[in-house]
Amino acid sequence: MQIIGIVSALLVIIIGFTERDQSMGFFDPVALTVICVGMLGALVLSSRPKDFIGTLVSLREILPFFARYSEESDRIEAERVKLEDLWVQGKKIEAANLAEASKYEEIRLMMDYIMSRADDAVLDNRFTALGHRCVDRWEPVVANWEQLAKLGPAFGMVGTLTGMILLFKDFGTGDSNIGASLSLALLSTLYGLVLGSGVAGPIGSFLSTLMNQRIQVLKRCHKTVKQLVKMG
């Protein structure tokens, strides 16, 4: 993975000095490629393989028909509320059947601990472990998106410097390709800011919210088990 990151960094320089069409407008594929390749290369260089893959896979959470994690948290919460209501109403068999049929580990554990009347120390350790598992899964992903938010403007400056170098080169040779050099210099900064602060940063914040949402659901599951154990 680190070798791929180093190769990507070299590609950024090579691509930056690629000849471009003078008539290029708002869209500059070279500038965009410099930003994207640079950001991904730096991420590969600084991440473990599973964290890098997890960062890419996490993109599905922002897509309307592919997001799952937030929906899972909502369903766990809905089953928690239903299980609590059934138990409070004395419908313990129905509550046990609900937990047994649930596909969520959190709900099944709730019923196991309620039935075994687990003490507070056991509950605290188990639900703390579930919380840590959630954080271990999502914290590196969130950190990667936060890093991408910083890398976008940074690689925008790389593109800007490359464009300025080409601009001075054009001045020295009397070349007329000055417009393309200016395009790379200015559009690289624009693309870097948009992809970093406008895309990667908000995605990181969104995923952090999903992680905190799941942690809050786990805390409510923990609290519910304690309450129902005391009720008997």
CA distance 59 to 65: 12
**pTM for the whole structure:** 0.82
pLDDT at 8: 64
**Residue type at 47 in one-letter notation:** S
CA distance 146 to 173: 42
* 69-83 pLDDT per residue, tens: 999 999 999 999 999
pLDDT at 37: 84
pLDDT at 82: 96
CA distance 214 to 62: 16
**Residue 95 confidence (pLDDT) above 80:** yes
DSSP 8-state assignment for residue 103? S
Domain definitions of the chain by residue range: 2-70+127-231
pLDDT at 176: 56
pLDDT at 207: 95
CA distance 7 to 186: 25
How far CA 145 is from CA of 37, 128, 204, 216, 224, in Å, comes to 15, 25, 5, 22, 34
Nearest 10 degrees: Cα torsion 168, 169, 175, 178: -40
Higher per-residue confidence, 27 vs 155: 155
* DSSP output for 48-61: -HHHHHHHHHGGGG
* 11-63 pLDDT per residue, tens: 666 665 566 555 455 677 777 888 888 888 888 888 888 999 999 999 999 98
When pLDDT is averaged across residues 137-156 and rounded to a whole number, the result is 91
* DSSP output for 187-219: HHHHHHHIIIIIIIHHHHHHHHHHHHHHHHHHH
